[in-house]
Amino acid sequence: MNFRFNDSSITVAIVGCGGFIGCHLLDAILTRTQWRVFGVDLDFYRIQHRLNDERCEFMVADLADKNVVERIAKYPVVVNLAAICTPSRYMAEAPEVIRSNYDHPAALADACAKSGSWLIHFSTSEIYGRTSADSGLLVEDETELTFGPVTASRWSYATAKLLTERYIAGLQNLKWTVVRPFNFVGPYMDYMPGVDGNGIPRVLANFSSALVRGEPLKLVNGGVAKRSFTSVFDAIDFLFALFDVGQMGLVTDDVAKVENSPFSQAFNVGNPDNEITIAELAWKMRQIFTEIKGVSMDSIPEPEVVSGVEYYGEGYDDSMRRLPSVDKAERILNFKAQTPLDVVLRESLTWFVGHYGS
């Protein structure tokens, strides 16, 4: 089957279309292709400007509804971005987190296996588990996976995501590609607590909120954990590198794993050049904030060290390092994330300050 970008008869289903990645994917599909979009989500505030687009159809729903799952699987390409992916919820709401990250995507995978759709499923870099400070590159088909004990409920999310990957990989007749995001950041990431969401968002949104409010940035367990932050726009380019395979007519019904085919493969999507400790991230973001606002560093409170368990609750645990191997995406899709950390942080914080005011 061909998925030519100028073929207006093609509809892509995006589950989680109103979310952080979904809103950027929607914009990119509508500007770079002639495709139509069937978008499913519970919240559409990020995509208000697209709600009346004649190439789009939206549905307020989630994957808990079997009929919705069947409907989504009628489209030839299904991108599943829907998930509860905020660490502060993994402890207190573990059953809900597991339903959202295993039961629902597994049902969608079953439906896609039946209908023949190409399922592009978003997993997580967190499936690499409780990595240590001296863990090296995380390699898709090689790295051993270790999680904390069941009492460390932080791993509810990662283990549910991992089970979904195993389920997808084990399904006969499913055409699939799995994406493992490494800390995507950019405009519209998460929320500002107390304004358009509650609890603790992921680190970039949390630091941005604290800066806007003049509050100290919180360094969990000293901020020694490392992450490799990746521009959401690089992530969208990765998806277009995948779509290009469809554009070239390489989407076949043969789902056997073949070398150099993106089907039946999991890909890390990350930027190893952007690795940084959280304490260094705090320093950089304070610096960028002074430049955006034209204020001095003295006016910004010093970061505060907090304990992970006190901050997030009993059962919190952490990955100390997440450094992606990106060879597979480069080899198979000729894709490499390009955006340097300073650029993506400045872009994200500028957007946050403009959007939420100060």
Catalytic residues: 157
Backbone torsions φ then ψ of 204, nearest 5 degrees: -65, -45
Which residues lie near ligand UGA (CB under 6 A)? 85, 87, 124-126, 157, 181-184, 202-203, 206, 218-220, 223, 225, 227, 278, 308, 318
Residue 23 or 85 with smaller CB distance to ligand UGA: 85
Residue 223 or 246 with smaller CB distance to ligand UGA: 223
Residue 116 or 148 with smaller CB distance to ligand UGA: 148
What residues have CB less than 8 Å from 317, skipping those under 6 apart? 130, 148, 152, 154, 155, 308
Instruction: Give the whole-angstrom CA distance, residue 246 versus residue 141.
Output: 24
What residues have CB less than 8 Å from 145, skipping those under 6 apart? 127, 128, 129, 162
Helix, strand, or coil (residue 194): coil
Residue 35 or 207 with smaller CB distance to ligand UGA: 207
Residue 100 or 124 with smaller CB distance to ligand UGA: 124
Cβ of residue 224: shortest distance to ligand UGA, in angstroms?
8
Residue 116 or 193 with smaller CB distance to ligand UGA: 193
Sheet holding 175-181, edge to edge: 56-60, 36-41, 11-15, 77-80, 118-122, 175-181, 265-269
Cβ of residue 296: shortest distance to ligand UGA, in angstroms?
23
Q: Which helix (H) or strand (E) holds 119?
A: strand 118-122
Residue pair 251/245 in contact by the 8 Å Cβ criterion:
yes
Cβ of residue 138: shortest distance to ligand UGA, in angstroms?
12
Cβ of residue 185: shortest distance to ligand UGA, in angstroms?
7
For the beta carbon of residue 310, count every other beta carbon within 10 angstroms: 10
Cβ of residue 55: shortest distance to ligand UGA, in angstroms?
29
Cβ of residue 2: shortest distance to ligand UGA, in angstroms?
32
Cβ of residue 8: shortest distance to ligand UGA, in angstroms?
33
Burial of 60 (0-12, 13-18, 19+ CB in 10 A): exposed
What residues have CB less than 8 Å from 10, skipping those under 6 apart? 3, 4, 35, 36, 76, 77
Residue pair 59/39 in contact by the 8 Å Cβ criterion:
yes
Angle between helix axes 20-32 and 232-247 (nearest 10 degrees) is 50
Give Cα 294 distance to the centre of its chain: 32
Scan for tokens 């089970």, then name that residue.
163
Residue 19 or 246 with smaller CB distance to ligand UGA: 19
Helix, strand, or coil (residue 79): strand
